[in-house]
A and B are shown apart, each in its own frame.
Chain A
Amino acid sequence: MQEDHLIQSCLRGERAAQRALVDEFGPRLLTVCRRYTHPRLDPEDTLQDAFVQIFRHLDSFKGSCGALWSWMKTITIREALKKQRMTQRWHLNGYSFEEYMPEPENANILSDLNAEEILKMVSRLPDGYREVFNLVALEGYSHAECAEMLGIASGTSRACLSRARHLLQRQILNLTTQPS
């Protein structure tokens, strides 16, 4: 109910309500942006563009109260991907192509990571891998959906996910083998 009131106020262009919406959802959406944005780019720029789109299309939001977060998150992901495509040109892929990758051997270590560590590891992935890993592994999109969103083949999406997992495993391996 409170969310509905907030939306209506935002639709009327009330700055206080818009600010409240930014304060409430901004930090969590910033996490989403950090997951998708290249480390060299400022995720807050992406978040700004996302909020502009959110306020511009808020009148088309017809969902229930609980769906607002999902809706805003979807817009943020879309903006992040759009921004990513505008900046990326050629990406290095120096790893051999393998469809099959073994299960990570350091599953326990991976599970114990905190959010900041996870964000750091994910941001180190190459752009394409990071996008696929975020969409499929973390957001729950299917490979077909992910492929459509990124304009790639479904098989490519599978391969990227496997490689992303492999790279994450190697990062963990590097962390554990580095002398403290």
Chain B
Amino acid sequence: MRQPYESKWRRSLDDYESPMDSDSFWSRLEPKLPIGERPRTPIFWWWLGSLSVLITAVLIYGLVLLTPQNTEEAAFVIANDKAFTPEHAGWTGHAEVRDQPMHKGEKSDHSSEYSLAPSAQEAHTVFHHYTNTGNTPSTLSGPDESRVMSTSMYTAPVMEGMHAARVEQAGTVQSDDEPNSDAEAIPQVSPAPSPGLDHLATLELPPLDMADPDFPTLQARTLRKGWQLFVDVLSGPGYPSRELMAMEEAYTERIMRRRSYEHPLESWSIGADVRLYAPSGLFLQTGIRRLQISEQFESKHTESRYVWGLGEGFVHHADGNITPWQDSTWVWQTEETHIRHLNRIITWDLPIALGYRHIWGPWSGDIAAGIQTNLRQFTEGRSLNSEDQIISWNETPDYTYHQQIGVSAMVQGRLVWYPRMGYGLFVQPTWYLNPSSRTDASMTGYEVRYHQVLIQTGLSMRFF
């Protein structure tokens, strides 16, 4: 309990201005002061820098290394199994080079991966895969030549001045009542012996005349528009920041002391997402992610303890005499300590978000927002001395995190590049927005809340 005179002393001392020589004090202080504005932490910019490097690397890989000149893929034809099945009555067994240019609309079936491009130039630098699974009956008619299965798959590079191969495994003429009337343009071929299941028909074709105005140019549209389900696996580092909130003003000092010996936080996340895309580009995303934050506190300080030990000094007597004194007594002992505290906070996140994807060529970009449930599971850590020996692991109040279910908002963007049909590589920055009511940890007098910016990369795989 405070004595009455102490309150008076406090007021008296708070208002008291000790005499000081301001000029000399300033002349000694000025050289020690930092010049100009204090530089901000470069960590966030470091992540932005790494992101730009990553994107640049992906661009270089996509635009330089996978150009047609560097691709050794030969033209080949993979025919529909049924067309090569000898037992099948309608197997034609003979691939015929089509000597007529394709016409617009010829591959306009909704399941086609490619459509016709407005100019040939657009097709020159892209390696084209195109597939026409046809929209024809799944059975071959055999003797009845009026009903023909016409299902083919094409894979062919298209380059300036050369059309290495463009083949078509064709069937016979469809009947007039078939919806795919394009098949009528394909000449009927006579039956031939089956090459067997192990064979693929590979044909060398004469170059096409690209100067021909009727030459059908092709444009890659890597992503078809329709209902799609993608499964993503992703991983990446994060830049978490820690917000310390003093519940009383007196604890600002404690927060500053903690900040003085904490290292920048590090985090890493792995996870899997499922995305369902609608034809409009909207998508629904959910998944699971494991997030780990690594904390490190490194305290180097001197510590005074009141211990029973040897005391020595002088005794001031009432008569003014001073005599030396030495005895066992309670004494202050000052000790230098250097301790590193390493902590890991592991959280499982269950996000659910809505977003929109825009496609351009083999690229797509999307943005999504939603909420995620955070299951903060556990924290573990250890304390090391200056020789990196484990000295303790105590769940001190400072490191005790609430093991609770929390909800936070998330905003994320994604840039995807599709090097293969149905596969995409992406980079995805995600920002976790924690509500102000959220508390990740607490200590007497202040609370801790974490914020996250994640930079994740991953692989996206289409299931349908």
Determine if B30 is an interface residue (Cβ-Cβ < 8 Å).
Answer: yes
Which of B35-43, B86-94, B105-113, B387-395 forms contacts with chain A? B35-43
- With A51-B29, A91-B331 as given contacts, are A28 and B304 in contact (CB-CB < 8 Å)? no
Contact of A152 among B305, B313, B314 (CB under 8 A): B305
C-alpha gap A91/B333 in the complex (Å): 8
The answer to whether B311 and A27 have CB atoms under 8 Å apart is: no
The answer to whether B306 and A156 have CB atoms under 8 Å apart is: yes
C-alpha gap A92/B322 in the complex (Å): 13
Determine if B32 is an interface residue (Cβ-Cβ < 8 Å).
Answer: yes
Residues facing B in A68-103 (CB within 8 A) are 70-71, 74-75, 77-78, 82, 85-86, 88-94, 97, 103
C-alpha gap A20/B445 in the complex (Å): 33
Determine if B330 is an interface residue (Cβ-Cβ < 8 Å).
Answer: yes
The answer to whether A48 and B32 have CB atoms under 8 Å apart is: yes
- Residues of B whose CB lies within 8 Å of any CB of A are 2-6, 8-10, 12-20, 22, 25-26, 28-30, 32-38, 249-250, 252-254, 256-257, 259, 301-306, 310-315, 318, 325, 327, 329-334, 444-445
C-alpha gap A40/B360 in the complex (Å): 76
Give per-residue flags for A124-165: 1 if the beta carbon is below 8 A from chain B beta carbons, else 0.
000110000000011111001100111111001000100001
Determine if A56 is an interface residue (Cβ-Cβ < 8 Å).
Answer: yes
The answer to whether B14 and A13 have CB atoms under 8 Å apart is: no
- With A88-B334, A92-B311 as given contacts, are A118 and B13 in contact (CB-CB < 8 Å)? yes
Centre residue among A11, A89, A93, A174 by max chain B CB count within 10 A = A93
Interface range for A: 35 or more
- With A67-B249, A71-B252, A85-B302 as given contacts, are A115 and B13 in contact (CB-CB < 8 Å)? yes
Q: Which residue of chain B is the closest to A116 with respect to CB atoms?
A: B16
- Count A-B contacts at CB 8 Å: 177
Q: Which residue of chain A is the closest to B249 with respect to CB atoms?
A: A70
Residues facing B in A108-124 (CB within 8 A) are 110-111, 113-116, 118-119
- With A11-B37, A52-B32, A107-B5 as given contacts, are A152 and B306 in contact (CB-CB < 8 Å)? yes
- With A22-B25, A55-B34, A56-B38 as given contacts, are A151 and B303 in contact (CB-CB < 8 Å)? yes
C-alpha gap A170/B33 in the complex (Å): 43
The answer to whether B29 and A127 have CB atoms under 8 Å apart is: no
Residues facing B in A9-65 (CB within 8 A) are 11-13, 15, 18-19, 22-23, 26-28, 30-32, 34-35, 43-44, 47-48, 51-52, 55-57, 59-60, 63
Q: Which residue of chain B is the closest to A151 with respect to CB atoms?
A: B303
Centre residue among B13, B249, B331 by max chain A CB count within 10 A = B13
The answer to whether A110 and B5 have CB atoms under 8 Å apart is: yes
C-alpha gap A43/B25 in the complex (Å): 11
The answer to whether B304 and A152 have CB atoms under 8 Å apart is: yes
C-alpha gap A119/B17 in the complex (Å): 12
Contacts of B253 in A (CB 8 A): 74-75, 77-78, 149
The answer to whether B329 and A44 have CB atoms under 8 Å apart is: no
Q: Chain B binding site: helix, strand, loop or mixed by DSSP?
A: mixed
The answer to whether B6 and A27 have CB atoms under 8 Å apart is: no
Q: Which residue of chain B is the closest to A90 with respect to CB atoms?
A: B331
Contacts of B330 in A (CB 8 A): 93, 97
The answer to whether A85 and B334 have CB atoms under 8 Å apart is: yes
Contacts of A128 in B (CB 8 A): 304, 306, 332
- With A13-B35, A31-B18, A93-B311 as given contacts, are A107 and B13 in contact (CB-CB < 8 Å)? no
- With A13-B36, A30-B18, A165-B3 as given contacts, are A111 and B8 in contact (CB-CB < 8 Å)? yes
Contact of A115 among B16, B30, B250 (CB under 8 A): B16
The answer to whether B318 and A174 have CB atoms under 8 Å apart is: yes
The answer to whether A27 and B4 have CB atoms under 8 Å apart is: no
C-alpha gap A27/B18 in the complex (Å): 5
- Nearest CB of B to A18, in Å: 6
Q: Chain A binding site: helix, strand, loop or mixed by DSSP?
A: helix
C-alpha gap A122/B25 in the complex (Å): 24
Contact of A44 among B20, B35, B37, B327 (CB under 8 A): B20
The answer to whether A94 and B17 have CB atoms under 8 Å apart is: no
The answer to whether A78 and B313 have CB atoms under 8 Å apart is: no
C-alpha gap A141/B10 in the complex (Å): 13
- Nearest CB of A to B15, in Å: 8
Nearest 10 A/B pairs, CB to CB: A92-B313, A27-B17, A115-B16, A110-B5, A13-B36, A30-B18, A151-B303, A74-B253, A156-B306, A111-B5
Q: Which residue of chain B is the closest to A59 with respect to CB atoms?
A: B38
C-alpha gap A90/B311 in the complex (Å): 7
- With A13-B34, A91-B331 as given contacts, are A104 and B5 in contact (CB-CB < 8 Å)? yes
Contact of A55 among B6, B33, B249, B252 (CB under 8 A): B33
C-alpha gap A86/B5 in the complex (Å): 31
Contacts of A56 in B (CB 8 A): 34, 38
Contacts of A116 in B (CB 8 A): 16
- Nearest CB of A to B435, in Å: 19
- Nearest CB of A to B333, in Å: 7
The answer to whether A52 and B33 have CB atoms under 8 Å apart is: yes
The answer to whether A22 and B26 have CB atoms under 8 Å apart is: yes
The answer to whether A13 and B37 have CB atoms under 8 Å apart is: yes
Q: Which residue of chain A is the closest to B10 with respect to CB atoms?
A: A138
C-alpha gap A160/B331 in the complex (Å): 11
Contacts of A23 in B (CB 8 A): 22
C-alpha gap A74/B327 in the complex (Å): 36
- Nearest CB of A to B384, in Å: 19
C-alpha gap A131/B20 in the complex (Å): 23
Q: Which residue of chain B is the closest to A108 with respect to CB atoms?
A: B5
Q: Which residue of chain A is the closest to B255 with respect to CB atoms?
A: A60
Contacts of A103 in B (CB 8 A): 3
- Nearest CB of B to A15, in Å: 7
The answer to whether A90 and B333 have CB atoms under 8 Å apart is: yes
Q: Which residue of chain B is the closest to A33 with respect to CB atoms?
A: B18
Centre residue among B14, B18, B312, B334 by max chain A CB count within 10 A = B18
